Amino acid sequence: MTRPVRTVLFDLDGTLLDTAPDLAGALNAVLASNGREMLPFERIRPVVSHGGSALIELGFGLEPGHPDFEPLRKQLLDHYQAHIADQTRLFPGMETVLAELERRGLPWGVVTNKPGWLTQPLMDALGLGSRAASIVSGDTLAQRKPHPAPLLHACSRSGSDPAHCLYVGDAERDIEAGRRAGMATLVALFGYLLEDDRPQDWGASGLVRHPAEILEWLG
């Protein structure tokens, strides 16, 4: 690392927060209410970073455009909204990271493809909304990751320059967006990676197996 990092941005699901228990619960509730067999948590967890549509595809084997797809996705999101912070928590060690960033005077923020009507209530429920210097959701701008615009927007709102920003995420689109924005990037290997993901090939600045390694990387 050659450029000092002055702002740290995080993806939400699978990076900052372990949202998989509540999203898996929502999918299984919808499966059960539609007479389908529930899926084991281990099958659902890797798909969580890819959003509600990916969960419906996993659970029901339907593609977007199928007449049942949107009604099922709405059921999923409605259930999830009602139980958005039942079991969701910061990943173990992440509170230490945030506290240390705040101690150092380094603003941190969130850039997610999750819609704002889910992102803000979740952040507020966990007491994080007022701590984040910027929160950019999937519908804040016209573009979403892997487009760099949401990251650049968050960086601007945090009062920083992209060359001094670090973006941490657990999906290839996160690293692509960060690289296109001119930021340093870290892959959160503790997040929701699919079995065939090859994070070592995504071109990130580094890979971290535990949130504490983010602080080690910052130095």
Q: Which residues are catalytic?
A: 11, 13
Q: Check: CB of residue 84 under 8 Å from CB of residue 108.
A: no
From CA 33, how far away is CA 3, in angstroms rounded? 52
Q: What are residue 56's phi and psi, to 5 degrees?
A: -65, -40
With b for 16 or more beta-carbon neighbours within 10 A and e for fewer, the 163-201 pattern comes to ebbbbbbbbbbbbbbbbbbbbbbbbbebbbbeeebebee
Helix, strand, or coil (residue 19): coil
SS (H, E, C) 144-193: CCCCCHHHHHHHHHCCCCHHHEEEEECCHHHHHHHHHCCCEEEEECCCCC
From CA 74, how far away is CA 194, in angstroms rounded? 24
Q: What are residue 139's phi and psi, to 5 degrees?
A: -115, 15
